[in-house]
A = this chain, B = another copy of it.
Amino acid sequence: MPDFRPPRPGEVNITLPERTDAALYFIGRIQTPWRSLKECPKNSAARKDVTATIEVDEPFAAGLKDIALLSHLIVLYWLDRSQRTAILQAPSHVPEPRGVFALRSPVRPNPIGLSVVELVAVEGNRLTIRGIDCVDGTPLIDIKPYFASSDSFPDAKRP
């Protein structure tokens, strides 16, 4: 069931197009300690010590071959409890409504969540990871190797 929060002052919603353009398969599930959106950690420091499990379903699990060669992964998942229309949003930590593409909010036109995680262990179709903040049971859509050469920008600036 969607778990929409009420709109905040200054938020702006759009009308989405009538048709979608592409379709995804759920390829597994992410098991975390957080049973509801309210329990999920709001900042990355809080989640860094917490272990979670990614379980990849058949027929996709064969694609995990050689994953243990990597120390870090990029995990993409489907935020299936998010509404998709809030184009300007007013999170409590910013003074004025901000555009959705300047926020890591789970509420977005295509509600794809992204976390860079540490790979702790691999056992069959199950990966133990650290560094994810999604609710228990979140559908998995992709796992990618993290490459420092193209993905790490330690000096990136943010507001």
Contact = CB atoms under 8 A, between A and B. Distances in A.
Band of interface residues on A: 35 or more
Contacts of A120: none
Contacts of A158: 69-71, 145-148
Interface of A: 12, 14-17, 20-27, 44, 56, 59-60, 62-67, 69-74, 76, 78, 80, 87-88, 97-104, 108-110, 112, 114-116, 131, 139, 141-159
Given A151-B153, A151-B156, 18 more contacts: A14-B59, A14-B60, A17-B25, A20-B24, A21-B78, A44-B149, A44-B150, A63-B109, A69-B159, A70-B158, A76-B76, A104-B144, A109-B142, A112-B112, A116-B150, A116-B153, A148-B154, A152-B152
